[in-house]
Amino acid sequence: MVQDIFRDSTIGQVINYISSGGIFPYTDQRPDFKVPSHFLHLASQRPSTVVSPDSDATMLCGDLEKCRGASTPGVQLTRESTLAVDLGVEMAEQIDVALRSDPYVVGWYGDDDQENPRNWSPAKRAFVAFSISLLTFSVYIGSAIYTPSIPGLMTDFNVSQTTATLGLTLYILAYGIGPMFLAPLQELPEIGRNPVYMATLFLFVVFQIPVAFARNISTVLAFRFLTGFVGSPVLATGGASVGDIYPMHQHAYVLGIWALGAIAGPITGPVMGGFAAQANGWRWPQYELIWIAGFALIFLTLLLPETYEPTILLKRAQRLRKLTGNQKLSSQSEKDKEGETLGAVMQEALIRPFILAKEPALMFANVYLGFVYAIFYLWFEAFPLVFTDIYNFNLGLSGLPFLAFAVSGSITYTVYVFYQKYHIAPRYAKAAAAGVDIAPEIRLEIGLTASIFIPTSVLIFGFTSKESIHWIVPIIGAALYLPDIYLTFQSILTYITSAYPTYDASVLACNDFFRSAIASVFPLFGRAFFVNLGLGPGSAILAGISFLLMPVFWSLWKWGHVLRRRSAYAASP
């Protein structure tokens, strides 16, 4: 397993290519590999098969037309008889089926082909899922680890808090814009997921250096935007990478863990950055980000394998063409992409999300998740006001309340697993047995239920943040927000991809862009919002907005099927 993981990693691919398969070879690069016979029989370069009644010598037949018309004394060969001579009647029947479909398409060698990511061992799949989560964590932590640096930036560069906070805003905005340009590259089979992940992670590390050594605020802001942009692919497609390696019935559970890992980044950022900034100044949180991302770069370059099935099969087809000389062999993705240019792919990736954004269901999903996401980032402005100004926590301790999100997140995921196993799975199984489809709106139920946590959380936090009330109470109030953001994201993102299955990549890119754009603005006025209105009244306004959005959420759950019926893009009810 370890050798295969290393072979399929970025470094392993380079070594395999340089050694022409001599080091870390694939199955079809080993000396004992037997090429599937139907590939050889259809290779026009191969000699025709001629069988004589006086000889049992058999040659491979590459041109079926020649074989079909070949005649020897006493023997008239057809395709079926030729295959029967070489392979036996049973195998000939199997090959004949392949020939009637598309004999030149290179696929898996069998249901148990170990190069198929879905056939990897549980341990290998768990390791790869962990690796993708590490990559996601390394990028997501970059947003919040910056916040403890804001006071130091204000002092060193003599700028306002709003200007210093732009480093957070631009980072969030950039990782909403980045997937529009970078994620489509991962859908190109000739590129795949790994080259994009590793190239952008390398740039992510490099672009951190000017931030850490900046001599003016302009440098900080410019490179914060660039780091968010190049770090964005895994935030949009990390879930798809995990989905590459697990069967459909396990997706909800595994994607739930990946999402929990994604939330862990912003949660732990202020904790790690706070103590570093307090001890050594604003630059040290940026050094920490370089160390974290640098470790991830080395680890993943050595050990993260490619998971995208079209890319794996395309490379297999390339090796088989070289091995057999049969240039007609190709993967299905090569046939599907014939005549498609990179320009066309990018144009579609940039235009289609905005076309789909006009769909009422997607418009609500974008606005609602943007609002939920924005409140999450408002905590980074509210926590210093409460725990530093009211409860007199120092810069390091003021980040510790974020760990409450980790506790509530673990509980939420446990509830989510039971919900999937004992409520959703039986309903799908019953529908499958009856031969009927379940409406995608079923996925909205848990999100609608969880939406009550928004007003509950912000109201408890806002009205209990007082010197006369113990600091644990507002922490508990804030922690209650995690069930909402986690379950709402899982609910709505699953819904929109189920409702628009043909355009799932575009709807996710659209949602990522709009929610990041909305969330990026809130930290800029967050402090002024709470200072001018007060924590209680400010929280009441946020709770009021969430209450106003609940009926819209309920309407989508109730009448979403009507909207899909009227849509030119959604799946039929």
Fold classification of 342-568 (topology level): Growth Hormone; Chain: A; (1.20.1250)
Exposed / middle / buried, residue 116 (Cβ in 10 Å: 0-12, 13-18, 19+)? middle
Q: Is 50 helix (H, G, I), strand (E, B) or coil?
A: coil
User: How many residues can be counted in the chain?
Assistant: 573
Q: Given CA atoms 84, 87, 88, 89 in this order, what sign does their dihedral have?
A: negative
Q: For position 473, what pLDDT does the model report?
A: 95
pLDDT band at 547 (very low <50, low <70, confident <90, very high): very high
Q: For position 81, what pLDDT does the model report?
A: 36
Torsion of CA 228, 234, 235, 240, to 10 degrees: 160
Residue 392 has pLDDT above 70, yes or no: yes
Q: Give the mean model confidence (pLDDT) for residues 389-408.
A: 90
Residue 467 has pLDDT above 50, yes or no: yes
Q: Give the mean model confidence (pLDDT) for residues 295-323.
A: 93
Q: For position 573, what pLDDT does the model report?
A: 64
Q: For position 99, what pLDDT does the model report?
A: 43
Boundaries of every domain in the chain: 342-568
Q: What confidence tens digit (pLDDT) does each residue in 85-104 have?
A: 343 444 444 444 444 466 77
For the residues of 134-192, what is the DSSP string, one character each? Answer: HHHHHHHHHHHTTGGGHHHHHHHHT--HHHHHHHHHHHHHHHHHHHHHHHHHHTSTTT-
Strands, E assignment, 271-430: 330-331
